[in-house]
Amino acid sequence: MRYRILGSIALGLVLLAVAGFWALGVMIPKARPEAPLAAEVANGSPEELRRELNLHAPDEPDRHGLTALVWAARLGKAQAIRELVRAGADPDRLDSGPNGWTPLLHAVHKNQLEAVRALIAAGADVDRPAPNGQTPLSLAAAQGEAEIVEELLAAGADPRSQGPRGWTVLQRAVGSGNPRVVDVLLREAPDLRLGHGPRDWAVRSIARLEGNSDVLARLDRGEGGR
């Protein structure tokens, strides 16, 4: 009976870890692109966007604290990103909304690969964190976005960095449920390993629950990205 109770407690802790893991550092804005620049980004008309850029500052935030560049990132509008940056929009500006994210973090959160590429090409800092420590690589790893993780690493993102509350990129990758993310990380940094602390235990448990024990076995054997 005692072991059954302990097992139930352990399972509950793992499930709480799963819920908390996905929620780390993410508050979803419920806004819509209403400001003139953002509306033209959403409409997809380069000519109208250029016209509005003659009337409004490129980094002018809307009532939710989000700029047109943030909306271009969230909507995957690569051409609009290029137009806005050419007009002087700052690709590293933190929004004044609930997250305090850069446009790159917004693009990662929405899994907008082309927007990520456009922002990197525009000179966005791939390691610029939000105030809570959230980085683009940490968020992409947690969301299981292997292609975006690959793009960020190729642009120089630090595979040994930490995200909110000290979670490492590897911990978040193992807990993402996508083994490809771990493979991409290990190709870049073959020496990455999980430790034996509470967070490592939590992500190991998540991986086993999701049927990804092979990822743990590779890490434990030190096989890198093979």
Full DSSP string of 136-149: HHHHHHHTT-HHHH
Which pLDDT value is given to residue 158?
97
- Percent of the chain at pLDDT > 90 equals 58
Q: How far apart are CA 92 and CA 71, in angstroms?
A: 14
Cα separations (Å) of 82 from 109, 188, 218? 20, 29, 41
Return mean pLDDT, the chain: 86
Q: Say if CB 200 and CB 226 are below 8 A apart.
A: no
Q: How far apart are CA 162 and CA 151, in angstroms?
A: 18
Q: What is the CATH number of domain 10-25+146-226?
A: 1.25.40
Which pLDDT value is given to residue 10?
47
Provide CATH 1.25.40.20 ranges for the chain.
27-131
Q: Domain 27-131 belongs to what topology? A: 1.25.40
Q: Is the dihedral of CA 69, 72, 78, 83 positive or negative?
A: negative
Which pLDDT value is given to residue 215?
83
Residue 46 has pLDDT above 90, yes or no: no
Extract the tokens encoding 112: 């907008």
Q: Say if CB 49 and CB 40 are below 8 A apart.
A: yes
pTM of the model: 0.85
